[in-house]
Amino acid sequence: MIENERLPTHMGWKRPAEPFTLDNLLGNLERVETEYRKQLNASAPKRRSDKRVARKVHGGATLVY
């Protein structure tokens, strides 16, 4: 399917000075996950309150949420 594939040295690609290790990958993955969670939390709708609310429901039971 792919024939004569080459690295783009003519576009300035060079072999990295340091080898890419599993520690590099996991460190980058951790940073991406942290930023993703920050963005997710920032875009989540805010809760009304942390106060618990008690309401009467059918049959006289009390529902606390």
Q: What average pLDDT does the structure give for the chain?
A: 81
CB 44 within 8 A of CB 38: no
Q: What is the pLDDT of residues 35-64, one digit of tens each?
A: 999 988 887 777 665 566 666 666 666 666
- The pTM of the full predicted model, rounded to 2 decimals, is 0.45
CB 65 within 8 A of CB 53: yes
Measured torsion, CA atoms of residues 32, 34, 39, 45, in degrees rounded to the nearest 10: 140
pLDDT at 2 over 90: no
Instruction: Write down the number of H helices and E strands in the chain.
Output: 1, 2
Between residues 2 and 10, the one the model is more confident about: 10
Measured torsion, CA atoms of residues 20, 23, 24, 30, in degrees rounded to the nearest 10: 150
